[in-house]
A = this chain, B = another copy of it.
Amino acid sequence: MTMSSTTSPTAAIGVNVSPTNNLVRALLTDLYQLTMTYSHWKIGKVDEPAVFELFFRKNPFKGQYTIFCGLDESLKLLQSFQFTQDDIEYLKSTPALEHCEKEFFDDYLLNGLNGALSSLKVYSVQEGTVVFPKCPLMIIEGTLGIGHLLETTLLNLINYPSLIATNASRMVLRANANNEKHTNYTSESKPKPCLEFGLRRAQGPDGACTASKYSYVGGFVGTSNVQAGKIFGIPISGTHAHSYVQSFTSLDVVSQLTLYNKKSNKEEVFLTRVLMYRTAKANSSTSSSSSTSSITNDGELAAFCAYACTFPNNCLCLIDTYDTIVSGLENFIFVAKALDDFGYVPKGVRLDSGDLAALSAACQHTFQKVIDDEPTRRTAFTDLTVVASNDINEATLVELSRKKHGITAFGIGTNLVTCQAQPALGCVYKLVQFNGEPRIKLSQELVKVTIPGVKRVYRFFGGQDKKTPLLDYMCLADEDPPTAAVSEEKETSGGGIICRHPFRQQQRLVVFPSRVEPLHRLVFDRGNVVDDDNDDNCLSKTRTYVQKQLHEEFSDTITRYDNPKEYDVMVSPKLYKYLHELWEKEAPIEERR
């Protein structure tokens, strides 16, 4: 497995103002945003002040947390937001808008948006923050028109990145879950890196590149996607496929191939050494029927020799083309011994089919046997990688963590990038205030009722080190911000903050946070990205931030696979009252007779 890190990840917020994908433009929106904006323009309401919130209602993957991502591309959209003359011609010509007055297109969409953008303020949770349902992730304060025009594109830019980062983080947690049975094979409990291999199965080219980027943020160590490696500076990884093995049919093609022998200091034919080990193995076999030259597949052995000679420092072989144990593993051992003799450390094997637990255990067992037979091979054979890469998902990882296996790294594709367990997050974007008045959206379904008004959210921390999140507290923006309890030792009720569940009347509590952190910061103001922390806003910083929250702050009760516990998002008493009074006012009274 090759791994890169010369170019440290530096895709920074606000550095490149064009969205990564050329399809991300003002026109990437739902038609109804334009019909609504037109209607508001027509009746003179388009420039009235409105506040929208972007949030989700339910954590994905039957879990209890979500990682917020997609802010950087959203800011690029905001910075470059405009309709072109060409877009305008298209809109004027489409039957869906044919009866609209032309001034709307020219005066408002083409030439009037700068005004709307200059009055726009966007508050957002920081990229990579662990977030929970109903918490506003972005707050869009501007005009009714710009609020509509941004909705669909922002949702598209937040939904999938947040979903994939969450999915990736869950897989990394499962891959590294304690597995006592595994310690048979390694002297210490080493981290098991996860690699993203999903390009070929992703939902389009952008689905692939977005997956590479946010899997890395979620804790993956690299990707196979070269384009993503170049654009985002993520380490890239990969060795060879089955077709490489299949392209060798006999040993002839490698019979003259030489490799520099670091011990003898000269170029030597590599195959000679390899065949020495194969012959020895064949002779040690008591079978009289098998010919010594074909105890393993010749083409496969030739492929491994060729790969070893071209990448002697990175020789990781895919061993399941013909038969994993009978041919692939044996051929790898011959080549690895030869590499060791030549002064190189072989890298390992990849398994892409079959019973991954059993096959990987067999690999480790064989490696150990080499060491037991020849203790001088300890350096070369102790840290061999065993990558598993066949249709792995979160459930497979959990299952593997409860079994004896010898896997040391995971290559995860389809189920990571398509988020097979739940392929959409379901963020929504709702009007919460208009013309200074709070707005609510009621619904037959309680989960779809929105919390009205312009709000702010604070994370309350407790514990001795002030690092344990207690709950998230939502209040109206014009309320006094909550503060940490005056005295930590003496938790008097004077320092306590009363929190209510937004919908369950009985559920109230008093919290004494030792630290209070606002979740939102102003990220876009008067046409510009507010970039108070430019140098640090790179992918690797976000990745570290994610790991810190998951491993040092939040308890595993919210991140674990089995029965994770719900994290509380509570509201202030004032917001509770506000919500329920408005609800009662807006809901019609059904008549029954």
With known contacts A96-B237, A246-B439, A321-B441, A310–B30 Cβ distance under 8 A: no
How far apart are A346's CB and chain B's nearest CB, in angstroms?
15
Min C-beta distance of A535 to chain B, whole Å:
22
Whether A23 and B25, one on each chain, are in contact in the complex, defined by CB atoms closer than 8 angstroms, is: no
With CB as the reference atom, state the residue of chain B lying closest to A144: B247
A24 contacts chain B at the CB level, 8 A cutoff: yes
A197 CB to closest chain B CB, in angstroms? 7
A431 and B199 within 8 A (CB): no
The answer for the CA separation of A32 and B244 in the assembled complex, in Å, is 10
CA distance A541 to B388 in the complex (A): 44
Contacts of A21 in B (CB 8 A): 21-23, 204-206
Among A38-46, A176-184, A565-573, the one that faces the other chain is A38-46
For A305, the closest partner residue in chain B by CB is: B43
Could you say which residues of chain B place their CB within 8 Å of the CB of A39?
A: 240, 244, 306-307, 310-311
Q: Is the CB of A588 within 8 A of B326?
A: yes
Are A203 and B205 closer than 8 Å at their CB atoms? no
Known: A152-B200, A296-B588. A247 touches B50 (CB 8 A): yes
Q: 8 closest pairs, A vs B, by CB?
A: A206-B206, A32-B238, A31-B238, A418-B423, A2-B96, A155-B200, A4-B95, A203-B203
Residue A241 interfacial (CB < 8 Å)? yes
Inter-chain CA distance A29–B418, complex, in Å, is: 17
Over the window 157-173 of chain A, the binary record of Cβ atoms lying under 8 Å from chain B Cβ atoms (1 yes, 0 no) is 10110000000000000
| Segment from A126-134, A282-290, A467-475 that makes contact with B | A282-290
- With A28-B208, A28-B225, A35-B240 already in contact, 10 other A-B pairs whose C-beta atoms are closer than 8 Å: A23-B206, A30-B197, A32-B241, A91-B226, A144-B247, A148-B243, A151-B241, A201-B424, A203-B210, A323-B590
Q: Are A205 and B588 in contact (CB under 8 A)?
A: no
B424 touches A29 (CB 8 A): no
**Which of chain B's residues have a CB closer than 8 A to the CB of A230?**
27, 87, 90
Instruction: Name the contact of A237 in the complex, choosing from B31, B207, B208 (C-beta under 8 A).
Output: B31
**What's the Cα separation between A444 and B358 when bound, in Å?**
13
Q: Are B423 and A203 in contact (CB under 8 A)?
A: yes
Q: Does A506 contact B (CB under 8 A)?
A: no
Q: What B residues does A434 contact at CB under 8 A?
A: 246-247, 249
- Report the Cα distance A238→B30, complex, angstroms: 7
Q: Determine whether the beta carbon of B226 is less than 8 Å from that of A34.
A: yes
When all copies of this chain in the complex are counted, the total is 2
Interface pair B210/A204, CB less than 8 Å apart: yes
Asked whether A28 and B199 contact (CB < 8 A) given A23-B21, A95-B4, A439-B246, the answer is yes
Give the Cβ gap from A472 to chain B, nearest Cβ, in Å.
24
Contact between A323 and B444 (Cβ–Cβ < 8 Å)? yes
> Which residues 317-342 of A sit at the B interface, judged by CB distance below 8 A?
320-324, 326-327
CA–CA, A197 and B229, complex, Å: 32
Interface residue? A354 (CB, 8 A): yes
Contacting residue for A423 out of B45, B93, B237, B420, CB 8 A: B420
**A155 touching B201, Cβ below 8 Å:** yes
Q: Which of A100-157 contact B (CB under 8 A)?
A: 144, 147-148, 151-152, 155-157
Residues on the B chain within 8 Å of A152, using CB: 199-200
CA distance A414 to B203 in the complex (A): 13
A242 touches B (CB below 8 Å): yes
A-B contact list, 14 entries, CB within 8 Å = A21-B206, A23-B205, A24-B205, A31-B226, A94-B229, A160-B204, A203-B424, A243-B431, A243-B441, A246-B431, A322-B588, A326-B590, A354-B445, A420-B423
Q: Pick the contact of A38 from B253, B310, B445 — CB < 8 Å?
A: B310
CA distance A152 to B591 in the complex (A): 62
Q: Does A59 interact with chain B (Cβ within 8 Å)?
A: no
Cβ contact within 8 Å between A30 and B206: no
Q: Mark A414-427, 1 if CB is under 8 A from B, else 0.
A: 10001110111111
User: A247, A314, A589 — which one has the most chain B CB atoms within 10 A of its CB?
Assistant: A247
Given contact pairs A227-B23, A443-B320, A588 touches B297 in the complex (Cβ within 8 A): yes
